[in-house]
Structure 1
Amino acid sequence: MGKARGAPGARGRKMLALVCINASNMACHSVYSVLASFFPQAAHAKGLTAEPIGLVFAIFAAVVFVSAPLAAPMLSQHGKRQIYVAGLATVSSATIAFAFADHIDNPTAYLWWCILLRCVQGFGSALEETAAYALIADIDPSAISFNLGVTEVSTGLGYMVGPAIGGFLFAQGGFALPFLLIGASLLPAILLVRAVVRDDRASMRVGDTAPDGAAADGADDDEGEPPAVPLLALVAQPQIAAAVAAAVLGNVDYAFLEPTLAGHVEEVASSPQAIGLLFSVISLTYTLSSPLVGWLSHRRRLGPRNVVIGGLCLGAVSFLIVGPSPLLGPLLGAELGAQHVSLRWLCFALVLFGLAEGMSMTPLLEDMMLSCSHMGKGAINSLSALMTSAFSLGQMIGPLLGAFLSPRLGFRWATTLVSAALLLLALTMAVLRHHSRAHRRFYCEFGACPGARRARRTKGARKGGAHATTELAGLTQTTDGHPRRPAARDDSESEDESDSGSDGDSDERVDATDETEAYARAKADERTRRPERREARASEDRGGPTPGQPRTPADVARPASAEWTVCA
């Protein structure tokens, strides 16, 4: 099969590339949140009010939201690695230039200088993030789900460790030091990426096939990439729309605190270092909980959707305590009914919030992949742009919402409204999931449905491959795109399949959809060793056509069985 599949050098190069991309990705995204622990106070000293400060935070995400769809065509024109390096260089130069904003005394000039540089940072971040998803997917297509999940964690960590780093550096060297060090740290990352990640432009000129790095590392060399599914077609599905709403609101709640938390906790944490430590409580909890959350989302009795719903509910509770909400006064006594929550309750609420962010954000990509798996592999190529836009939209709305609601309603009622929105979304996602299962609409999680728990994992089913299937992130489905419940099969049928399936690596993969037909043909040519014998055996079992006769949708309507079987 693949000659470099087991080569230590290929595996080491893949691992080094993944580490390099994720480390630079985390540093690049820390630029967004580094301002949270000290910039509001510095801007107030320059004469700015809450609304302009919120605009400085929000304009970054607004530019990313607009630029992410525009960055996608640039990948095919100039190469993924080149766009990634260009994004890192843009973010680095704008961040270093931000250090000189403190020398501007005029409030209006100070505001416009900050807005301009945040726009440049946002454009560079859009290039970097869009190219990062594509590079991760090309490095090891066989582990795309895991690698993209790690990239999401590095992105979230970058957003969450920024305030702690910014507060510490601001206390040590003033306004300029955080920007100078973070901007300079991206420069060696650029050199590492150019040295480790292979240039894909040569393979693009040959025919837009798999990039050089993927082919050299033993990745599958496809005839071509399947066409991407339009973003509107993805969002039009209720299940994916609910996941997108969770991605938006999961970033709104964190970004809501960036311009507002520092002013609210002045009585218990007045210094930038203390405020940075409070934000680091969220990032530390998020980091420690992410592996556990990933494990829970794969449990057969949970699935990613249930974990996301639980995270939204936990986030709602944490926001009620951070306020503290006026609704908690009659329930929990005077301490939580005061205008400012005590330090111990605040830390407890932030720990809950970090856990809630991990639960509601980490499984989202997997949940989306499950919801759109019937649309073919091309849907995965669109999920990166959709996730980037959803995250950026939440990061844009959050600071504006916090700067608008807190002065008018007060911080306590503003956090209460955010908590109500989280609870409403959790209820909506639960209802959609129940409605989808009750009406046999497409949505399934690993083993979360009764039909999947009844699936028989037989040796013949694992080695079979007589039926045409499409595997997407561990999910098995029929080629007509419709989920099927596993049918009961007798022991003789399993024995026949076991006898005929002596080679477990020869699964025939045929995709009947127009979008992935070329991709499926390439897979079938590479992985099939004895297709005629298996086809004859499978045709006899199900009464279908003999080899050489055309297939009909009825011939491939039911999968024999699967390790994880799709059910309604």
Structure 2
Amino acid sequence: MYGFSEYKHYPIYLRCYALFKEFGEDPPETEGEATRRLSREQLFTLISAASINVGSSMCYSILGPFFPKEAEKKGASNTIIGMIFGCYALFDLLASLVFGKYLVQIGAKFMFVAGMFVSGGVTILFGVLDQVPEGPVFIAMCFLVRVADAVSFAAAITASFSILAKAFPNNVATVLGSLEIFSGLGFVLGPPLGGFLYQTFGYEVPFIFLGCIVLLMVPLNMYILPNYEADPGGHSFWKLITLPKVALIAFVINSLSAGFGFLDPTLSLFVLEKFHLPAGYVGLVFLGLALSYSISSPLLGLLSDKMPHLRKWFLVFGNFITAGCYMLLGPVPVLYVKSQLWLLVLVLVINGISAGMSVIPTFPEILSCAYENGFEEGLSTLGLVSGLFGAMWSVGAFLGPTLGGFLYEKIGFEWAAAIQGLLPLTSGLAMGLYYLLEHSREGRSIPQGVLTTEEERTALLPNEI
């Protein structure tokens, strides 16, 4: 997502290698040759991107099962806990815009490696916060460490998206969708691993263990990550975001990331209070969302690249299904449906698939819209699109937990989730109306009696033969 977004290790890399055999830099020798192998550079790019997806999603999701309870013991209210989760996204937003704009000047590889290094160290620091005095000092330190983590991972993720789009220019959705396997695995591993380590060893060990894993990835990426050089471009974020289609897609990204962010501080508290599960098992509830999202994303990405006309349908109906899922999470009292654990997990599974339908097409849709409106093809534009994607995801990821924590405290989880569902419902309606208007404009732009390209070809072929 970055903001769900998330990963595993070497056996998965080999699977990724097999999945991407068809994508190569050189054309096939014959027309019947169906497969093309990844170049060494592309394979290393995939491994590096997978490593940052694993690290970022695990660092983000590990807090869910136990941190809200620990923060309550230290004197933080539910609203403050939501803000601690939400501040990550706020500074991720600001950092993504800056890093996206100056990606070429800083250097994509340096930004990637430096961001990962800082994040590993900051994650370890998060593990010693239980030694800080309770009250305002603890809260202030939580905000400080969370902000540093957000800025460092914004650098790494922005660079990662740009490098991937540069290495796989014709298969952006497929590659990003397939890498969501690793994002999903990070979210899958984060909550249960954090919960069980917390139960077994206490507060410090989950963060120290994860921080060390991230740091160990740094020398690997220094060695294998390709270094792309490019000239700065002349376009700006403002020109990109003021394109109507891009602005609406940005709203879609906001609504989906807000939904994911809403669940971070609220779902674990709801499950603990409603079903009385131990912290380790609370983490397993998150698996429904993470697994379904990560497993469905590669297929959705492949369909998005092979059949671009499906993207509009994914964007619209994915949002509608997601909205329905949030109505059923509680479920909302007006439905008169009893809250049950199996129903909650089932809804999370469906939500993971529907969110993937909406998230995966957004990056290639923004990129194609930018190229259609005069943005130059190259690393500079890729940096702008990557930064914009990260920034818009972060807007929702800030609003989701912040507003979610407040609503949970005031009106309970059931109504808070239903209100959250209004965002994807609105964004789905907005995208649907835009595509209808776009289709009607295209229809009017073709004069009656004038053949389209396909009709011309059909009419001329018999004569040519």
Normalising by structure 2, we get a TM-score of: 0.83
Q: Which residue of the partner structure matches residue 234 of structure 1?
A: 240
Aligned residue number for residue 331 of structure 2: 324
Tell me the equivalent position of 2:33.
none
Q: Which structure 2 residues correspond to residues 443-482 of structure 1 after superposition, within 5 A?
A: 456=454
Q: Aligned AA for 1:293? A: L
Distance 1:10 1:356, change over 3 A: closer
Greater helix content: 2
TM-superposed CA distance for 1:160, in Å, is 5.7
Q: CA RMSD in A?
A: 2.9
Tell me the residue number matched to 1:388. Answer: 390
1:39 is aligned to 2:59: no
Give matches, 1:93-172, under 5 Å. 93-141=121-169, 143-151=171-179, 154-155=182-183, 158-159=186-187, 161-172=189-200
Aligned to 1:542: none
Post-superposition shift, 1:394? 1.1
1:130, CA displacement in angstroms?
A: 1.4
Please tell me whether the aligned partners of residues 17 and 193 of structure 1 are also in contact (alpha carbons under 8 angstroms): no
Q: Which residue of 1 aligns with 2:203?
A: 175
Aligned length: 424
Question: Residue in 1 aligned with 2:217?
Answer: 189
Could you list the per-position Cα deviations for residues 60-115 of structure 1 after superposition, in whole angstroms to 9, with x for gaps in the alignment? 11111111122235433342211111100110010001110111232221111111
Superposition deviation, residue 154 in structure 1: 4.1
Runs (5+) with no aligned partner, structure 2: 1-24, 29-35, 446-451
1:105 counterpart SS class: coil
After superposing the two structures, state which structure 1 stretch, 120-129 or 485-494, moved more. 485-494
Instruction: State how far apart, in whole Å, the 1-side matches of 2:248 and 2:443 are.
Output: 15
For 2:12, the equivalent position in structure 1 comes to: none
Q: Secondary structure at the match of 2:439?
A: helix
Distance of 1:301 and 1:364 partners within structure 2: 12
> 1:148/1:419 Cα in 2 relative to 1: closer, same or farther (>3 Å)?
closer
The CA distance in 2 between the partners of 1:177 and 1:131, in whole Å, is: 30
Contact 2:41/2:226 (<8 A) preserved: no
CA distance in 1, matches of 2:423, 2:300: 23
Question: In structure 2, what is the Cα distance between the partners aligned to 1:265 and 1:121?
Answer: 27
The equivalent residue for 1:479 is none
2:299 corresponds to 1:292: yes
Question: 2:369 aligned with 1:371, yes or no?
Answer: yes
Residue 432 of structure 1 is aligned with which of 406, 426, 434? 434
Partner of 1:344: 342
Output one character per residue of 1:475-526: Cα deviation in whole Å (capped at 9) or x when no partner.
Answer: xxxxxxxxxx96655127766xxxxxxxxxxxxxxxxxxxxxxxxxxxxxxx
Q: How far did 1:417 drift?
A: 1.2
Match of 1:407 in 2: 409
- Displacement of 1:292 in angstroms is 2.9
Deviations 1:13-63 (A, max 9, x none): 421331233223321232122111110011112221111111110111111
User: Residues 441 and 53 from structure 1, CA distance in 2 versus in 1: closer, same or farther, beyond 3 angstroms?
Assistant: farther
Deviations 1:105-164 (A, max 9, x none): 322211111111001101101111111122223435454554344455544654564323
The whole-number CA distance in structure 2 between the counterparts of 1:50 and 1:24 is 30
> Which structure's CA Rg is the greater one?
1
Q: Does 1:53 align with 2:23?
A: no
Q: What CA deviation, in whole Å up to 9, does each residue of 1:447-496 have, x standing for no partner?
A: xxxxxxx864xxxxxxxxxxxxxxxxxxxxxxxxxxxx96655127766x
Residue identity in the other structure for 2:356: G
Who is 1:464 aligned against? none
Superposition deviation, residue 351 in structure 1:
1.2
| Matched AA of 1:392 | S
Higher relative contact order (CA 8 A, sep 6+): 2
Q: Which amino acid aligns with 2:335?
A: L
For residues 436 and 257 of structure 2, the distance between their equivalents in structure 1, rounded to whole angstroms, comes to 26
Q: What residue is the counterpart of 2:425 in the other structure?
A: 423
* 3-state DSSP of counterpart to 1:37: coil
Counterpart in the other structure of 2:113 = 85
Maintained 8 Å contact 1:40/1:259: yes
Q: Flag the 1:228–1:410 CA change in 2: closer, same or farther, 3 A.
A: farther
Equivalence for 2:93? 65
Distance (whole Å) between structure 2 residues aligned to residue 272 and residue 455 of structure 1: 61
- TM-superposed CA distance for 1:168, in Å, is 2.7
* Alpha-carbon distance between aligned partners in 2 of 1:419 and 1:9, rounded to the nearest angstrom: 43
Note the C-alpha offset of 1:172.
Answer: 2.6
**Unmatched runs of 5 consecutive residues or more in structure 1:** 209-223, 330-335, 444-453, 457-484, 496-568
User: How far, CA to CA, are the matches of 1:327 and 1:409 in structure 2?
Assistant: 14
User: Does the CA-based 8 Å contact 1:239-1:433 persist in structure 2?
Assistant: no
Which residue in the other structure is 2:14 paired with?
A: none
From 325, 344, 358, the equivalent of 2:356 is 358
Deviation of 1:416 (Å): 1.5
Deviation at 1:251, TM superposition (A): 0.6
Q: What amino acid is aligned across from residue 200 of structure 2 in structure 1?
A: Q
What's 2:13 paired with?
none
| Distance in 1 (alpha carbons) for counterparts of 2:159 and 2:298 | 25
Q: Which residue of 2 aligns with 1:506?
A: none
Are 2:460 and 1:490 aligned?
Answer: yes
Q: Deviations over 1:194-245 (max 9, x none)?
A: 1112445xxx5xxx4xxxxxxxxxxxxxxx67x3642222222222211111
Give the aligned residue type for 1:97.
L
